[in-house]
Amino acid sequence: MSFSDILSRLGNIMRSVGFSDIMDIIIISVVIHYVLNMLKKTRAFQLMLGVVAFFAVYIVAITFKLKATTFLIDTLLQVGLIALLVVFQPEVRRALEQVGNLNMFSRSYMRRRTYEDGQVDQLRKAIAAICDGVERMSEKQTGALIVMENFNRLESVKISGTPVNADITPELIGTIFYDGSPLHDGAVIVHQGRITHAGCVLPLSDNLEISKEMGTRHRAALGISEVSDVIALVVSEETGTISYAKNGVLRRNQDRHSIYEVLTKEFVQPIIDAREKGGASGFLRRKTDE
């Protein structure tokens, strides 16, 4: 076969490809990319490689007409899907939770626009109090784990903790995470500038790239940030190092100033931006006020 024949065949294939075929390729590519990114840092990645090897053997058996091997694999495949769901249950659950979080941004934007001026000021004060509390915990090398709830509600996590419903102060944070407190081993949940629950149990990350020197608090912070849009603050009990987790990424060696900037950018700035843009309703309100 000459080079021109190869080009001719490729041209015929390209001409037969329609819009639906291109969409199929794009969707499948995105799904494969998403699944690989989700699994590559977990223990399930090794299991997935085993599944790929299993199907490779199946293809070889069919190609070379290995009847016994093909029969055995066909029998295993009858229960294979159920077995895969059981084996990958944590990853499937995490993926579904992440997909559910993707379409919430427009409603989150609308919710942010409902804040009044006093509530924004209260939110700023709460962020400052959190930063002060975290800084004190760092100086005393007292472990702490604070989860800043964003749009996605953490009802399943809150059930595991104790309701508090209190304004945030550095003293309250210190009291909760004091070694003698019954709540100090769990996480504090903060929603709209108030501590709603304390002593909460968070899902742990199974990310294999986490440093061995990081303990349960860091794994918990990563775990909750992998399945929701929270920002989780961590103070190391061993070193006093301040870290925060967002979108499954842990950023270490933070200080009061950097944490304040991160929280303000995440929780306060979107409200200010939404007000400045205003939209039609904002324009009409301004005209009415004039």
CA–CA dist 144, 184 (Å, integer): 7
Cα-based angle 259, 265, 266 (whole degrees, multiple of 5): 90
CA–CA dist 169, 194 (Å, integer): 10
What is the average per-residue pLDDT within 203-210?
82
Q: Give the tens place of pLDDT for each residue, 79-118.
A: 777 777 776 666 666 666 656 555 444 444 444 444 555 6
Most confidently predicted of 58-62, 97-101, 224-228, 251-255:
251-255
Q: Give the tens place of pLDDT for each residue, 258-290.
A: 999 999 999 998 888 877 776 444 434 443 443
Q: Is the model's pLDDT at 38 over the cut of 90? A: no
- The reported pLDDT for the residue numbered 234 is 97
Q: Where are the domains of the chain?
A: 3-102, 107-274
Enclosing H/E stretch for 70: helix 67-77
- The reported pLDDT for the residue numbered 280 is 40
Amino acid at 39: L
Q: How many CB atoms lie within 10 A of CB 62?
A: 13
In the chain, the percentage of residues whose pLDDT exceeds 90 is 41
The verdict on domain 107-274 having CATH code 3.40.1700.10 is: yes
Q: Per the structure block, which two tokens stand in for 35?
A: 């699944």
Mean residue pLDDT of the chain comes to 81
What is the average per-residue pLDDT within 106-135?
74
Most confidently predicted of 27-41, 110-124, 217-231:
217-231
> What pTM value is reported for the model?
0.66
Closest by alpha carbon to 263, among 148, 172, 151, 171? 148
146-150, 193-197, 273-277: range with lowest mean pLDDT: 273-277
- The reported pLDDT for the residue numbered 196 is 97
CA–CA dist 67, 76 (Å, integer): 14
Q: Give the tens place of pLDDT for each residue, 159-168.
A: 999 999 999 9
Q: Is the model's pLDDT at 31 over the cut of 50? A: yes
CA–CA dist 270, 63 (Å, integer): 57
Strand order in the sheet with 242-246: 162-167, 194-200, 187-191, 144-148, 231-235, 242-246, 249-254
9-13, 48-52, 173-177, 205-209: range with lowest mean pLDDT: 9-13
CA dihedral over 197, 200, 206, 209, signed as positive or negative: positive
Q: Is the model's pLDDT at 174 over the cut of 60? A: yes
Q: For the chain, how big is the Rg over CA atoms in Å?
A: 26
What is the average per-residue pLDDT within 195-202?
96
61-75, 167-181, 223-237, 245-259: range with lowest mean pLDDT: 61-75
Beta strand residue intervals within the chain, DSSP E: 144-148, 162-167, 187-191, 194-200, 231-235, 242-246, 249-254
- The reported pLDDT for the residue numbered 1 is 55
What is the average per-residue pLDDT within 248-255?
93
- 3-class secondary-structure state, position 44: helix
What is the average per-residue pLDDT within 20-46?
73
